[in-house]
Amino acid sequence: VQVAESGGGLVHAGDSLTLSCVVSGTTRTINAVGWYRQAPGKQRELVAGLSSGTITIYSDSVKGRFTASRDNAKNTVYLQMNSLKPEDTAVYYCNADVGDTYYASSYYYTGRVFDYWGQGTQVTVSS
């Protein structure tokens, strides 16, 4: 299974970006996916967690600005980021599961992660 993020770049504060996460190398459909980010010198943090169902959770820092969505036909997950701030600058990672276990949104509060990670995509927001 391969996970590949794309869509990062250098933008100004207030701009928007949409990140994509494509899961390939499997005949299985994306089950649950977490978007994470890591800024220099900081710990990795969850940005958005898509459950196996329809519920998605967001960190308080991005709630109301970021929206995660999925296209199962394309095995792709998106992260629409609006009103970007300099503090959103980080490498953004996609963490995916393609198994059969049902993951409720509460899974993301356990600190556990799925098996498959992408290489990350850099998002830099200038002030």
Q: Helix or strand or coil: residue 12? A: strand
Residues 6+ apart with CB under 8 A from 47: 34, 35, 36, 37, 58, 59, 62, 66, 79, 92
**Rounded-to-10 torsion of CA 53, 56, 57, 63:** -170
Token digits of residue 20: 């994509």
pLDDT in tens, the chain (127 residues): 999 999 999 999 999 999 999 999 999 999 999 999 999 999 999 999 999 999 999 999 999 999 999 999 999 999 999 999 999 999 999 999 999 999 999 999 999 999 999 999 999 999 9
